[in-house]
Amino acid sequence: MSDIAFYYPGHIWYDTDRLKSMLLFYDGIGFLIPEYKKGEPEAVDPVLAGPLRDKNLLHYFIADEVIDEQATKELTSVMGGLIESGSLNHLMTKDTAFHSLSMSRLGFGGSRELAEQLFERLKSMGLAKESTDGSSIPIHPMVRYLVLVLLAQILRAPSAKKGIDLAPITDRQQILTSLTEVLNIPNAPSAGNVIEFDLQSVCADLSSVPLDEVLDFRNQNLDAHKLYMRSLRKFAREISLLPGHEQEASIADRQAELDDYAADIKRLSRKAWRKPATVGLGLAGAAWAATGDPLSALFALGGIALTEFGAGNQNIDAYSYMISIGNKF
């Protein structure tokens, strides 16, 4: 199983520092990109994107292909539930500049009928507007974030069937907030289970380091860095399944273990680059038992369970990593 960092909310990174740092922790980096934007990353950043594509370290998940009918059903079902619950009502009263969301990422290529229904509901609430280019939709930024948060979870299952473990990762705090808000919706199976590990500096800023040197360091130390990321996710899963009164003590114990893992990779980074650790990594997520309700059905994602960590039952998780460099986010 290949570990791929699934960077979102966009297909263009904000700066190369983050992308280089993400390379240390994963077998590759993936983006969800509309068909009509294919090739844009290489055009925007040919110095980095071109070589990474050549080395098979940069992967494009074409929205028109991967958001199929099943993915569209899952997306529109949960978005419909959020609308019915009133969770988006507070956005209707705010005068906000809209962002652009490709129609393919709202599911128009998977099931146009379902996507149209969702679009019309959003439009009636004043949270979306008619397309002006036939390819994208002006949409409230928080609704856009929410759609992309859900897609980052939905696409994990079909990718797993292809031998790819997609690990959602973002550098936008608003995205992580959107995920925790979804997981904390009252009466949702994950409500009260959300665990957050604060950002912890683990490695040096590699903005001035040539790509070849970064990849050489990565080849020598990838296993240690992947262990840290997997440990973050494992601990979040295990702690969120504990009764509330046991979580606080367990978090303190697990934090000490995470500190040890972080210290190991900081030593590697400091030895190689002679720089202080300024790249921060954190995580927010939840795990819960499958119950057959709509949210569980969504995040069950084809029945993926925690068997890799020995849970032995049908537990479900949703999560996202957060990456920062210094004070750049």
Confidence grade of residue 307 (pLDDT, cut at 50, 70, 90): very low
What is the spatial distance between Cα 127 and Cα 129, in angstroms, rounded to a whole number? 7
Shared domain for 82 and 193, answered yes or no, is no
Nearest residue to 74 (alpha-carbon basis) of 188, 158, 131: 158
Shared domain for 55 and 109, answered yes or no, is no
In the listed set 131, 152, 173, which residue is the last one of a domain according to the structure? 152
Domains in the chain: how many in total? Answer: 2
CA distances from 82 to 86, 197, 217, 320 (A): 6, 26, 44, 20
Shared domain for 51 and 73, answered yes or no, is no
Backbone angles phi, psi at 187, to 5 degrees: 75, 0
- 249 burial via Cβ count (<10 Å: 0-12, 13-18, 19+): exposed
Shared domain for 103 and 91, answered yes or no, is yes
Confidence grade of residue 5 (pLDDT, cut at 50, 70, 90): very high
Shared domain for 106 and 44, answered yes or no, is no
Shared domain for 178 and 29, answered yes or no, is yes
Identify the helix (H) or strand (E) that includes residue 287. Answer: strand 279-289
Residues recorded for the chain = 329
Shared domain for 191 and 279, answered yes or no, is yes
Shared domain for 146 and 208, answered yes or no, is no
Tokens of 64: 């028109």
| Average pLDDT of the segment spanning 195-201 | 88
Shared domain for 27 and 87, answered yes or no, is no
Q: What is the mean pLDDT of the chain?
A: 85
Shared domain for 138 and 165, answered yes or no, is no
Q: What is the pTM of this model?
A: 0.86
- Inform me whether the pLDDT recorded for 18 exceeds 90: no
Shared domain for 48 and 107, answered yes or no, is no
Nearest residue to 82 (alpha-carbon basis) of 114, 112, 118: 118
Task: Report pLDDT digits (tens) over 235-282.
Answer: 988 898 888 778 888 888 888 888 899 999 999 999 999 988 988 999
Shared domain for 312 and 224, answered yes or no, is yes
Residue in this structure with the two tokens 């949270």, named with its chain if needed: 127
Residue numbers of the domain that contains 111: 69-152
Helices (H) and strands (E) in the chain, counts: 12, 9
CATH, residue 143: 1.10.10
- Inform me whether the pLDDT recorded for 315 exceeds 80: no
Whether 18 contacts 169, CB under 8 Å:
no
